[in-house]
Chain A
Amino acid sequence: MALQTYVQTIARTLMEEMRRDERVVLLGQDVGRRGGVFLATEHLFDAFGPDRVIDTPLSEAAIIGAAVGMAVHGLRPVAEIQFADYVFPGFDQLVSQAAKLRYRSGGAFTAPMVVRMPAGGGVKGGHHHSQNPEAHFVHTPGLQVVYPSTPSDARGCLQTAVRGDDPVVFLEPKRLYRASKEEVPRDVDQLLPVGVGVRRREGDDVVLVSYGASMRETLQAAEALAQQGIAADVIDLRWLMPWDQALVLERVAAVGRVVLVSEAPHSGSMLSEVAATIAEEVLDMLEAPPLRVSGFDTPYPYAQDRAYLPGPNRILYAVQQVLDY
């Protein structure tokens, strides 16, 4: 098997899903002839034509709203928002329409659809090309949210998302689009179930919980800790709503120390939710308070692009604090 990048895996998986099910259609800005600005839909226009790979006008509301309508009529739309930072004109469609359609119709109507969007920083894109808006979606009942960190996971989660019966916000870590390469199986189902995370490393000294692009720095920190004789248990959440509460609580209860890592802003974040749940459920098993290593409560900066990211040093500092507690 040849190595495949994250973004090639997205394109390849979409190709397979479109072959498998003719109800799957793509829509978004530049997804057609251009193959997507990151090439996440490369070759699909040639393979399936303009009826199934739709170059849309420049309107996120039209893209997401139209996907809802297509889904209601039986299609399986996969919408692309060019950057997660641009989702906000379509936010109303996601929050008011897609997320609430099943509930408000008493289950009569549903919106099985996927909204893909590259997210995250470290690409010198400033605050309109670097944000991590997952908390907005996690906070919107009716949406599923996933942020896979590897090509293989992206493939498995995308298969699950396309074939599922709910609207899924599918976040892709753009700084890993080309940096992350793996041998990825082809033409076989590899569905990763909704809400199930994965242990990337086993250890008994501290639990590190992360997801998406920050997994890379989290694993680097775990490696550095191993050099110092500290064994970190590393959990990749994969799914942010629903998230793998059972796995996190089980490991945190067993180890007693936990550091949570994400590059999204600190307050009101996914990490806040995980930390609060840990405190509610396994407080008496903790040896130290859960610590969050995150982005800051600032817009994503341009010049200090890298400093903003929770790098290994900041993770190691927090780990030292929970170990010394």
Chain B
Amino acid sequence: MITDAQRFQPFSEEPIRLIDQSGAWLGAFPCDLDDATLHAMYRHLVLARAVDERLVLLQRLGKISFTASAAGHEAAQVGTAHALRVGRDWIFPYYRDTALAIAVGWPLVELFGQMMGTRADAARGRQMPAHPGSRDLRIFTVASPIASHLPAATGTAIAQKLAGAGDATVCTFGDGATSEGDWHAALNFAGAQGAPIVFVCENNRYAISVDLRHQTGSDGLAVKAHAYGMPGYLVDGMDLLACYYVMRSLLEAARDGLGPALVEMTVYRYGPHSSADDDSVYRDPAEVAAWRERDPIVRFRRFLTARGGWDEAAERELRAAVTRTVDEAVEAAEAAGPVPVEWLFDDVSSRPTPQLERQRERFRAARRAAGEDVAD
């Protein structure tokens, strides 16, 4: 029997690809997913793009302070999400992983609550937008400092190995992260331990303005795995099924005790780095346009259409449903209302220090003296 792990070659010259631009299946094995699964994947792509577009709009309206668009990264993230066992495997994402969070089931009300910092945010309004996290879904809450989550991801994977329950960890990051010392520390430790973890680089070729050529002298990023004793896979990150199958096979291998892997998914971010960036300074619009031509959502839709079972009517119905879902979630997240001012003092440590208690009292007294309502 051919296992998934034997289907893909590490360190290939060309990215692993299973669907071509026209939507035709290229795999040497049959696609074993049923319609329900494929349609759920497609729904996640469309939903993630709709959420992304809404976030850009909300930022322009001043309802959120920041957004880091994931448009162009959806196939990599949704493919990865569907390869996970949600609630068992751990996910260590970075700030551009909105589609990943959506596809593993992060409730949209929580998502928009996090973005707006309202009571709908499970993290109580503590972080800037684009920082998902969920205890139930085992999403390790995002931290902004690049690659700072990688060593922790390795630690979780080592703990999973010790527990012996056959669980695994997925850790995602951008191309810039591969330059941080923490990145190398984490891969090295994972390699030495044979930890059940798959590191996923969403390589969009730009760390804000710095292109890959100035980020590293190495020929691609997958090759860096070699030095840490793990396989490195180069995958077309705009091909949902390539991302899904490679991730599925590597997670299976990790669960079977075959150790960690690195996956480089070639993607492109259509928008600027964030709402605070102007990418016209460092990117040629023709380059952006060329990548948009390879849109992962269009490509997957072509695959579904060619396969049968997906038509214009289904598409229209999906788009309408997605718009409704997003509208409702935004409304509910906003209606939850602002977080109380004094929540800022909670959750610093297992119990507040006497120093912090005193600061809180003084803060309250100063507000009272200024005639503010301290009940809030």
Residues in A lying within 8 Å of B, measured CB to CB: 29-30, 32-35, 37, 55-62, 85-86, 88-89, 124-129, 266-267, 296-299, 301-304, 307-308, 313-314, 316-318, 320
Instruction: Assess the A58–B207 pair: CB atoms within 8 A.
Output: yes
Instruction: Assess the A302–B341 pair: CB atoms within 8 A.
Output: no
Contact (A125, B366) CB under 8 Å given A34-B208, A296-B356, A297-B359: no
A34 and B208 alpha carbons, distance in the complex (Å) = 9
Instruction: Assess the A58–B146 pair: CB atoms within 8 A.
Output: yes
Contact (A88, B145) CB under 8 Å given A59-B180, A303-B339: yes
Say if the beta carbon of B320 comes within 8 Å of chain A.
no
- Out of B127, B281, B343, name the residue touching A127 (CB < 8 Å): B127
Provide the residues of chain B in CB contact with A317, threshold 8 Å.
362, 365-366, 369-370
- Ordered by A's residue number, 19 sampled pairs between the chains whose C-beta atoms are within 8 Å are A57-B207, A57-B214, A57-B215, A57-B216, A58-B146, A58-B210, A61-B180, A61-B181, A85-B144, A124-B128, A125-B66, A127-B126, A128-B127, A297-B348, A303-B118, A303-B124, A303-B126, A313-B369, A317-B365
Contact (A89, B182) CB under 8 Å given A57-B216, A128-B145, A313-B366: yes
Contact (A302, B127) CB under 8 Å given A30-B210, A85-B144: yes
Instruction: Assess the B66–A124 pair: CB atoms within 8 A.
Output: yes
Return A258 CB to nearest CB of chain B, in Å. Answer: 17
Instruction: Assess the A89–B145 pair: CB atoms within 8 A.
Output: yes
User: From A307, which residue of chain B is reached at the shortest CB distance?
Assistant: B341
Instruction: Assess the B180–A296 pair: CB atoms within 8 A.
Output: no
Say if the beta carbon of B276 comes within 8 Å of chain A.
yes
Instruction: Assess the A304–B369 pair: CB atoms within 8 A.
Output: no
Chain B window 273-299, contacts with chain A (Cβ cutoff 8 Å), 1 for yes, 0 for no? 000110001100000000000000000
Contact (A128, B180) CB under 8 Å given A266-B355, A307-B344: no
Main SS at interface, chain A: loop
A32 and B215 alpha carbons, distance in the complex (Å) = 13
A30 and B274 alpha carbons, distance in the complex (Å) = 14
Instruction: Assess the A33–B209 pair: CB atoms within 8 A.
Output: yes
User: From A125, which residue of chain B is reached at the shortest CB distance?
Assistant: B128
State the interface size on chain B (CB cutoff 8 A): 53
Instruction: Assess the A298–B345 pair: CB atoms within 8 A.
Output: yes
Instruction: Assess the B210–A55 pair: CB atoms within 8 A.
Output: yes
Given contacts A58-B180, A302-B126, 15 further A-B contacts (CB under 8 A): A34-B282, A37-B277, A57-B179, A57-B214, A58-B176, A61-B180, A86-B146, A88-B145, A89-B145, A125-B66, A301-B344, A304-B339, A313-B370, A314-B363, A317-B370
Instruction: Assess the B345–A303 pair: CB atoms within 8 A.
Output: no
Which residues 72-87 in B have Cβ within 8 Å of A in the complex? none
Instruction: Assess the B276–A303 pair: CB atoms within 8 A.
Output: no
A35 and B277 alpha carbons, distance in the complex (Å) = 11
Say if the beta carbon of B367 comes within 8 Å of chain A.
yes
User: From B119, which residue of chain A is reached at the shortest CB distance?
Assistant: A303
- Out of A30, A124, A303, A320, name the residue touching B369 (CB < 8 Å): A320
- Out of A55, A296, A297, A303, name the residue touching B214 (CB < 8 Å): A55
Say if the beta carbon of B229 comes within 8 Å of chain A.
no
User: From A320, which residue of chain B is reached at the shortest CB distance?
Assistant: B369
Q: Which of A124, A296, A307, A308 has the most CB of B within 10 A?
A: A296
Instruction: Assess the A57–B341 pair: CB atoms within 8 A.
Output: no
Instruction: Assess the A34–B181 pair: CB atoms within 8 A.
Output: no
- Out of A85, A296, A320, name the residue touching B345 (CB < 8 Å): A296
Provide the residues of chain B in CB contact with A59, threshold 8 Å.
179-181
A88 and B148 alpha carbons, distance in the complex (Å) = 10
A273 and B366 alpha carbons, distance in the complex (Å) = 24
A218 and B134 alpha carbons, distance in the complex (Å) = 40
A86 and B208 alpha carbons, distance in the complex (Å) = 15
The 4 closest A-B pairs by CB, nearest first: A303-B125, A128-B144, A126-B128, A34-B209
Q: Which of A88, A128, A129 has the most CB of B within 10 A?
A: A128
